[in-house]
Amino acid sequence: MRTRITIIAVLGIGLLVFFVLYNIFSSPIPILDTSENLEPGRRVIGLSVEGREIEAYRYGGGDTHLVFVGGIHGGYEWNSVILAYTLVDYLDENPEVIHANLTITVIPSANPDGVYKVVGKEGRFAAVDVPTNISTAPGRFNAHMVDLNRNFDCKWKPTSLWRESIVSAGTKPFSEPESQVLRDFVLEGRPDAIVFWHSQGNAVYASECEAGILPETLNIMNIYSRASGYKAVPVFDSYETTGDADAWLASVGIPAITVELKTHETTDWAENLAGIKALLSYYGRSI
């Protein structure tokens, strides 16, 4: 009798264990939902020193990822921010220009505190609200008075040059929250190419670090130059620059170019739209 009871008890426990394990392994395994990082639309990828949002607008869902960045020099180059928001509006209205194999991200304002110093507004703003005679450097730096385009990890030094002026490059590479945001965005998504908009050099510059210029960087520099009419300049040698963002990208193997608008007052929309479309066509050929 005891033997039967023991056998029944063992069978009962066995059946209980079986059903518990079955329910565990037959149910879907919960996975952290990161879909918001993959879906088209606006998202906030980080905050500035003063807590302003750094936005990214994402379009398309292809495997080839192109990124366009404006405003790293804030209010001093406010027109690069206007240009980036103009591209956002254009892509909203013309989604058909994005090939099926492409994803496009636009980061309009990489230094929102610097923009706020000049514009006095946050987020989008109208060009008519911005001073049209910028002869010094209001808003070029972030709220820590660091030149963000000297705060990246390629040949970084504590101080660097901007023309004949000595500027702060931060306490170490990526010491500033704005440059950390760009770094993390890049390393997380590993874009295929990045375009930075600046002013007022009227040219397209290739990026390079210690290992030189990536071949693909030269390709996209020439493509953008031919389409836009900006002069192609493989090497910037007007003065020494250290810690610049596009140079860091070269060091991690990501092609990047810097497009310098003609002035501080215009967006050169027609020229840049031609350059953008040329890149979309170039990277969209694989479909």
How far is 167 from 151, CA to CA, in rounded Å?
Answer: 11
Looking at residue 137, its pLDDT comes to: 66
pLDDT attached to residue 11 = 41
- The answer on pLDDT for 240 being more than 60 is yes
Q: Please tell me the predicted confidence (pLDDT) of residue 217.
A: 97
On average, the pLDDT of the chain sits at 85
Stretch (H or E) spanning 259? strand 256-261
Predicted confidence at residue 238, as pLDDT, reads 77
Q: What is the pLDDT of residues 28-85, one digit of tens each?
A: 323 223 334 445 799 999 999 999 999 999 999 999 999 999 999 999 999 999 999 9
pLDDT band at 195 (very low <50, low <70, confident <90, very high): very high
pLDDT score at 235? 87
Sequence-separated (6 or more) residues with CB below 8 Å from residue 118? 74, 75, 76, 78, 130, 131, 134, 138, 139
Could you tell me the pTM of the whole model? 0.84
Q: What is the pLDDT of residues 11-32, one digit of tens each?
A: 444 443 333 333 333 333 232 2
How is residue 43 written in tokens? 């998202």
